[in-house]
Amino acid sequence: MTLRTSLSALVLMTVLTLAGSGLFAREFPSDDSGRDRVGIDYDAIMERGFIEIGVYEDFAPYSWRDETGALVGVDIDLAQIIADGLGVDLRLIDLPADEDVDADLRNYVWRGHYMGRRVVNVLMRVPYNRELDYRNELAALTGRYAQERIAIAYRVEDFPDEPPFPGSFQSRPVGVETYQLADFYLTGLPGVLPNITRRRHLADAIDLMRAGEVTAVMGIRARLEHYLRHDPDFAIESGPLPGLAIGSWPVGIATAFYTARMLSYEVDDILTAAVRDGRVAAIYEAHGLSWDEPQR
């Protein structure tokens, strides 16, 4: 796909790409019985007494390892809600993101990796998109629990009169995470390309802004909030983004469609209840993040 491809196509492609560029999935050991765990059903999970939930590795503030090596983050807390709701133990597996969500669903949800790696029972932080749902008929996308949103973090002293907007970067340097939605969006705007500085990880782009090498960073709002919380020198603007076809999207979970359909219903009920009674919002607040109710 060239840069001349329509912006709408690029946006769709990129929304379906989560942070990270790992090319290989984690290898899962076989259980004692040697039973194939692809699409294990609800009754089997209840019988064995634990559920395996996959989260994305090094993806703060949703899932990452702290200084002790423990997995922490929003999706870790939500995974515990799922396990508690089912009445089983939780086993977490952190996974590298593949080239796109289609590959993640194939490798981690319904088929397993071609090198013999296995799937998880539930995969967290899956963007819901009707096109994605239609073309991945072997995965059930459900349990929407939050609304992601693209935003702009900026140094307040660089924009004293009003927050930046995309046109500001025709004359101001801006940082982005490589190959993510913000990168494709800004690349397609007139006069902005020369002022874009790319980094492989969002945290590195934030470091550029702290050092004064760029005036702003564009990316997922919650991730920007995570890196900049409690810092009065910076603010975050999540206003309109002209020309961006998909600037906000719901996220939920995925399970295998056929063999784990009952599980998907149960998890959807658990997460829907947690959204309605405020537990999901409370988790985001505890992590210092904004939360928007997911569109359904």
Name the token pair of 75: 């999706």
Q: What local confidence, expressed as pLDDT, does residue 113 receive?
A: 66
Helix (H) or strand (E) holding 51: strand 50-56
Residue 246 has pLDDT above 90, yes or no: no
Under 8 Å between Cβ of 267 and 49 = no
Alpha-carbon gap, residue 153 to 218, rounded angstroms: 6
Alpha-carbon gap, residue 175 to 210, rounded angstroms: 11
The DSSP annotation for 163-178 comes to ---GGGGGTS-EEEET
Under 8 Å between Cβ of 221 and 200 = no
Q: What local confidence, expressed as pLDDT, does residue 49 receive?
A: 97
Residue 17 has pLDDT above 80, yes or no: no
Identify the CA nearest to 252 among candidates 129, 97, 91.
129
Which amino acid would we find at residue 127? Answer: P
Identify the CA nearest to 50 among candidates 93, 94, 87, 95.
87
| Distances, alpha carbon 52 to alpha carbons 12, 99, 138, 235, in Å | 29, 23, 19, 37
pLDDT tens-digit series, residues 33-84: 344 444 578 999 999 999 999 999 999 999 999 999 999 999 999 999 999 9
pLDDT tens-digit series, residues 269-282: 999 999 999 999 99
| Distances, alpha carbon 148 to alpha carbons 159, 197, 230, 250, 279, in Å | 25, 23, 21, 6, 17
How many residues in total does the chain contain? 296
- Map residue 112 onto helix, strand or coil: coil
Question: Tokens 């992590």 belong to which residue?
Answer: 287
Sign of the CA dihedral with 106 first, then 128, 241, and 60 last: negative
Q: What local confidence, expressed as pLDDT, does residue 177 receive?
A: 97
Alpha-carbon gap, residue 209 to 63, rounded angstroms: 24
pLDDT tens-digit series, residues 175-201: 999 999 999 999 999 999 999 999 999
Name the token pair of 28: 């899962």
Q: Where are the domains of the chain?
A: 21-164+214-296
What is the pLDDT confidence band of residue 296, given thresholds at 50, 70 and 90? confident
Alpha-carbon gap, residue 290 to 282, rounded angstroms: 10
Distance of CA 6 to the CA centre of its chain: 24
Q: What local confidence, expressed as pLDDT, does residue 116 receive?
A: 58
Q: Which fold has domain 21-164+214-296?
A: D-Maltodextrin-Binding Protein; domain 2 (3.40.190)
Alpha-carbon gap, residue 125 to 254, rounded angstroms: 9
Q: What is the mean pLDDT of the chain?
A: 87
Sign of the CA dihedral with 226 first, then 227, 232, and 234 last: negative
For the chain, give the percent of residues with pLDDT over 90: 76
Alpha-carbon gap, residue 209 to 205, rounded angstroms: 7
